[in-house]
Structure 1
Amino acid sequence: MIRLSLIGIGTGNPEHLTLQAIRTIGAADLLLIPEKGAGKKDLADLRRMMLDTLVPAPHPMIAPLTLPVRDPAIRNYHARVEAWHDAIAALWERTIRNALPSGNGHVALMIWGDPSLYDSSLRIAARLAAHLPLQVEVVPGITSIQALCAAHAIPMNTLGGPVTITTGRQLRDHGWPPGAQTLVVMLDGNCAFQMLDPAGLHIAWTAFAGMPQEISLAGPLGSTGPQIISARAAARADHGWIMDIYRLTRSGSALA
């Protein structure tokens, strides 16, 4: 039986690791670390730094992963992502079988943020379970939403109001969701807030939340949106990658 631990490690600050996360990493036989691709080296280096500075020795064996990329020839978005997940699951399986040929052991992945929120690791693990005897466990971590709210010292919700968590793709294709009071927008590579009527909207945006290069801007969408677009482009040029998130609210909403 393979025990697979998906461990939320927060958004870049080593102090985001919980005691449970540190203990589970230290107990693993094998640690899978993605190391190639846009932004992967920085994130791999941070994972290794967390391992070296926070996890008592002896450390687990490390298996670096060169993740496949999505096939641009597959035009349908969901089909493209499903095929990508299949390829990643196959890579995990090969790596685990090579490192643990007995078919027994404890494998860990350090998941950016938390596995519950716009992360593919649980879906990929479900594919893996079809080919390996697998027990999956999740160690929760600080999410990018929590880090965003902390960066701006703001609550997520309006007073007694709901929060809609969505993606840039959904906002671009469908606009403001009917009845929504507060939006938290993730995975927005093209600043989809540009598609909205800015009147009465307030934005709180953070890139690299929790990391030393964290950038935060907030204000009316009409005036702050162009600043975010400029700052985002500059940061992406400097680092070669970017992870960001933002909250949108309508002016006059009571926050609590």
Structure 2
Amino acid sequence: MTGRRVNVIGIGAGAPDHLTLGAIAAMREVDVFLVAGKGEDRAQLVAVREELCRRHLEPGSYRFVTLPDPERGPDAQRDGGQYRRGVDDWHEARAQLWGETIDALDPEVSVGFLVWGDPAFYDSTIRVVERMRATRDFDVHVLPGISAFQALAAEHGIVLHEIGKPIHITTGRRLEAAWSPDAAFVVMLDGSLHCTALRERAPDLVLHWGAYLGLPQQELRSGPLDEVIDDIVDLRARLRAEHGWIMDVYALGAVSSASAAEA
């Protein structure tokens, strides 16, 4: 070990059973878990992480430090350049706050980040840790987790690709420009459900949607895009109002398990 140990641990899409044995072992190496607080409406996201630790770690062997998350800004109103600069500023603000918090800890204290889903897919933790690492001596270990789109496929019992075709993983803001009938699409971070705009171009696309995957409040919907999208738009708004937050993901063009074939 060359410096302070920092574990970035994927914890899956919400279900306690999503934790891998490697993730549990990495959690047991951590003295202090840092969690970005996002307000009272998202307190459940912190509570789920705390429950995972209670299940798998010895009482008193760790502690949680919840930090206020810097403001990110109105992403939906920004063009591509503004969005990139806004995210970069957000990462820098996080790195400064997290770094100052870690610097105040004893050098022997190990630090952990519990990342929703998998740290490699649309999550900023690794990038922020790398910014901190530029001026600090960290020994960083990344543990993969079950991603939201893996959980989505399992819950619907589907294969995410058609025979001989690729999978395109993207965000809602890029879907309309990127969409092609030659690939299956998995769409993350789409608060506006941009797939609605495809109903004129491809109304027969099969849509598989899921929210709160693995949690008690999980919701699933599937069917031809043109038939189910209005229901999903309404349901998503109701769920967000009820719970104060929502995490959802969807696939377009996924084939059913009965007609799917192995790659």
TM-score in terms of structure 1 length: 0.92
Name the counterpart of 1:208: 212
8 Å contact kept, 1:39–1:242 = no
Name the counterpart of 2:25: 23
Which whole-Å deviations, capped at 9, do the CAs of 1:144-165 have from their partners, x for residues lacking one? 0111001101011111321000
Cα distance in structure 1, aligned partners of 2:165 and 2:175: 20
Aligned counterpart in structure 2 of residue 125 of structure 1, from 117, 123, 129: 129
Aligned counterpart in structure 2 of residue 137 of structure 1, from 135, 141, 145: 141
Name the counterpart of 1:70: 72
The range that moved more, 228-237 or 26-35, is 26-35
Name the counterpart of 2:63: 61
Identity of matched residues, % = 38
Distance 1:20 1:56, change over 3 A: farther
Name the counterpart of 1:255: 260
Distance 1:227 1:128, change over 3 A: same
Aligned counterpart in structure 2 of residue 95 of structure 1, from 82, 97, 101: 101
Cα distance in structure 1, aligned partners of 2:255 and 2:114: 38
Name the counterpart of 2:110: 106
Distance 1:221 1:133, change over 3 A: same
Unaligned runs of 5+ in 1: none
**Helix, strand or coil: the match of 1:217?**
strand
Q: CA deviation at 1:38?
A: 6.5
8 Å contact kept, 2:160–2:255 = no
Cα distance in structure 2, aligned partners of 1:175 and 1:221: 17
8 Å contact kept, 1:168–1:192 = yes
Aligned-partner residue type, residue 35 of structure 1: G
The count of aligned residue pairs is 252
Distance 1:78 1:147, change over 3 A: same
TM-score in terms of structure 2 length: 0.89
Unaligned runs of 5+ in 2: none
Q: Runs (4+) of structure 1 moved beyond 3 Å?
A: 71-75
Name the counterpart of 2:154: 150
The alignment yields a C-alpha RMSD, in angstroms, of 2.1
Cα distance in structure 2, aligned partners of 1:195 and 1:175: 13
